[in-house]
Amino acid sequence: MANTRLSMRKVREILRLRHEVRLSVRDISRSLGISVGVVQNYLHVAAKAGLGWPLPEDLGEERLQARLCTPDPVEGAPPASQRPLPEMAYLRRELTREGVTLQLLWEEYRRDQPECYSYPQFCRYYREWAATLNPTIRQAYRAGEKLFVDWAGPTIPVHDPVTGREWPAILFVAALGASNYTYAEAFANRQLPAWIEGHIHSYEFFGGVPVLTVADNEKTGVTYPSRYEPGLNPSYQDLASHYGTVMLPTRPRKARDKAKVEAAVLFAERWIIAALRHQTFFSLLELNQAIRELLGRLNERPFKKMAGTRRSLFEQLDRPALRPLPECRYELAEWRKAKVNIDYHVQVDTHCYSVPYRLVHATVDVRLTANTVELLINGVRVAAHVRSYERGKATTDPAHRPKSHQQHLEWTPSRLIHWAGAEVGPQCAQAVTRILEIQPHPEMGYRACLGLMRLGRMYGKVRLEQACERALSLAACSYRSIKSMLQTGLDRQPLLNLQQSSPVIRHLNVRGAEYYQQSSNKEEAVC
């Protein structure tokens, strides 16, 4: 009774604040600490019951409750216990559709059944029925709106047919929110390629893409878990852009955010992993064939507390609402950052790729796939090449070359050689010429030449000229060799004439070539 009296006191306060104080619905909800929907419902019911403010003095709490919860009897109307109600499973299915609310369903119910329950009673009966369902399926998910994905905890053992070694296979599970339609597939690990491939295969299994893909804070997909601004792996975000969905990581340590997939994982553990415990598998292909058979049975199992199966609900609700698949499948891409050098090339895995020469010194995003290399700035692609795995080589688009280095980059082979001869000396000029000649094209030697300029500023032009002379005499013309000479001070040592023969050393312990020739002759005689 205390709770009833308190509730009716709040109802009286709602009416007073609305009609006497003239507060808005939102202000009333803040003042009384109740939701806006509850305030609106009570004002709506009170208006239908003809109640305003002030209330009649003889209207006690019990009579007020009766007026609000039970409409005035109409002559010829059936008793409340005999009034028809819509099928609750139908109401739940309709609530998954875009824009459908209980208010709208009650309006349709009232139009079809003049002698119907009031809106609060209608809502109460539906919520009582929904409370009997499994907690994970009580929420009214919109059709085609959310797909929940996660890894299962238990693993499935797979045996190597050659070595007999056993390794664990990980089960990827995806479930649609409205129909609970489930997909599962085994992978060798939980790394990014497997995570991405699981998403791709699940979209293709469902034949469409949901609006939201709700994932756990898996490190392969979420680089920075946060309640407000989680950071996504660039490849994971690229996958979302390709399929037109939104990746929505759950809040950290909030299991209810992914209750749907937690239930799907539980069913997968019971009806797939546990069912396969007595079988031995020697490959992922063999394991996934067995999983597909059990997955079909799982999706065909009838619900216990509502009509239909996962597949029937999927065909009725989710399939029509899913977005279409793109024309081509997503290809896993790796993202990096690189800086464009003065030779208008970007180095990726020991191979260089050209960009338009105007982008010298700019920082670009590199998108790598197995076959292509894309270079982007602020999301706009500025260059694309076929990926090459040749070390130390360059892939250059002729359109990326400047028409005049003198106007745009100011660095040409002739200018570099002129700088070396005029600023340092003839030996440095010859070294620069040799460096440019041994490269696939002159631009590739620009970096080494610029490095020589830097060495001239660090160690002085005189020492650089001496180091270049020594490098030429040793046939070791490279930036690394000249730098090593300067660091070790080898350039300051006198340069010996390599053509002059060394003097013959005479000593008792030095046997000479004749000794070894005699030994060889003795071995041949023995043979």
Residue 35 clears pLDDT 60, i.e. is over it: yes
pLDDT of residue 285: 92
For 355-409, list the strands marked E by DSSP.
363-368, 372-377, 380-386, 394-395
pLDDT of residue 6: 37
Stretch 83-107: mean pLDDT, rounded?
77
Residue 228 clears pLDDT 70, i.e. is over it: no
Residue 1 clears pLDDT 60, i.e. is over it: no
**Cα–chain center distance at 159:** 31
3-state helix, strand, coil split of the chain in percent (to 5) is: 50, 15, 35
User: Tens digit of pLDDT for each residue in 346-391?
Assistant: 998 889 999 998 898 899 999 888 888 999 998 789 999 998 888 8
Stretch 295-306: mean pLDDT, rounded?
84
Residue 177 clears pLDDT 70, i.e. is over it: yes
pLDDT of residue 317: 86
pLDDT confidence of 499, banded at 50, 70, 90?
very low
State which amino acid sits at residue 23.
L
Stretch 323-334: mean pLDDT, rounded?
88
pLDDT of residue 21: 76
Dist CA 292 CA 462 (whole Å): 76
- Other beta carbons within 10 angstroms of residue 377's beta carbon come to 15
The dihedrals phi and psi of 360, each to the nearest 5 degrees, come to: -55, 135
User: Tens digit of pLDDT for each residue in 402-412?
Assistant: 765 444 445 66
β-strand 166-176 against 146-151: which pairing, if any? antiparallel
Stretch 284-289: mean pLDDT, rounded?
92
**Is the alpha carbon torsion for 284, 287, 293, 296 positive or negative?**
negative
Stretch 466-476: mean pLDDT, rounded?
87
Tell me the CA distances in angstroms from 456 to 99, 410, 430, 467, 468, one per residue in order: 73, 20, 15, 10, 11
User: Tens digit of pLDDT for each residue in 2-34?
Assistant: 333 336 777 888 888 888 878 888 888 877 778
The backbone region for 64, taken as left when phi is positive above 0, alpha when psi lies in -120 to 50, beta otherwise, is: alpha
Alpha helices by DSSP H, listed for 20-116, are 25-32, 36-48, 61-69, 88-95, 102-112
| Spatial CA neighbour of 449 closest among 469, 472, 433, 471 | 433
pLDDT of residue 75: 39
pLDDT of residue 42: 82
Q: Report yes or no: 70 and 80 within 8 Å, Cβ to Cβ.
A: yes
Per-chain mean pLDDT for the chain: 78
Instruction: Say which residue the tokens 């005499």 belong to.
Output: 473
pLDDT of residue 133: 66
User: Tens digit of pLDDT for each residue in 433-446?
Assistant: 888 887 766 666 77
pLDDT above 70 coverage of the chain, percent = 79
The packing angle between helices 119-130 and 102-112, to 10°, is 120
Residue 485 clears pLDDT 70, i.e. is over it: yes
Q: How many CA atoms lie within 13 A of 239 on its CB side?
A: 29
pLDDT above 90 coverage of the chain, percent = 15
pLDDT of residue 509: 60
Q: Report yes or no: 477 and 471 within 8 Å, Cβ to Cβ.
A: yes
User: Tens digit of pLDDT for each residue in 51-65?
Assistant: 888 887 777 777 777
pLDDT of residue 373: 92
Stretch 414-434: mean pLDDT, rounded?
83
Three-state DSSP class for residue 393: coil
**Cα–chain center distance at 519:** 73
Dist CA 223 CA 213 (whole Å): 16
pLDDT confidence of 201, banded at 50, 70, 90?
very high
- Other beta carbons within 10 angstroms of residue 41's beta carbon come to 18
Three-state DSSP class for residue 45: helix
pLDDT of residue 4: 36
Greater model confidence, 66 or 467: 467
pLDDT confidence of 287, banded at 50, 70, 90?
very high
Instruction: Say which residue the tokens 């960009």 belong to.
Output: 355
| Spatial CA neighbour of 291 closest among 268, 263, 265, 262 | 268
Alpha helices by DSSP H, listed for 143-233, are 192-206
Stretch 474-494: mean pLDDT, rounded?
87
Residue 135 clears pLDDT 60, i.e. is over it: no
**How far does the chain reach from its first CA to its final CA, in angstroms?**
120
| Spatial CA neighbour of 250 closest among 265, 241, 260 | 260
Fold of 146-321: Nucleotidyltransferase; domain 5 (3.30.420)
Residue 56 pairs with which residues in a beta bridge? Answer: none
Stretch 282-291: mean pLDDT, rounded?
92
Dist CA 250 CA 215 (whole Å): 6
pLDDT confidence of 171, banded at 50, 70, 90?
very high
Dist CA 231 CA 225 (whole Å): 6
For 261-397, list the strands marked E by DSSP.
334-339, 345-348, 351-354, 363-368, 372-377, 380-386, 394-395
pLDDT confidence of 451, banded at 50, 70, 90?
confident
Residue 343 clears pLDDT 90, i.e. is over it: no
Residue 107 clears pLDDT 50, i.e. is over it: yes
- Other beta carbons within 10 angstroms of residue 29's beta carbon come to 18
Tell me the CA distances in angstroms from 255 to 171, 250, 265, one per residue in order: 19, 8, 13
User: Tens digit of pLDDT for each residue in 214-225?
Assistant: 887 666 656 544
Instruction: Say which residue the tokens 């239908």 belong to.
Output: 48
pLDDT confidence of 477, banded at 50, 70, 90?
confident
pLDDT of residue 205: 94
Task: Give domain limits for the chain.
Answer: 1-74, 146-321, 334-406, 411-492
- Confidence (pTM): 0.50
pLDDT of residue 404: 53
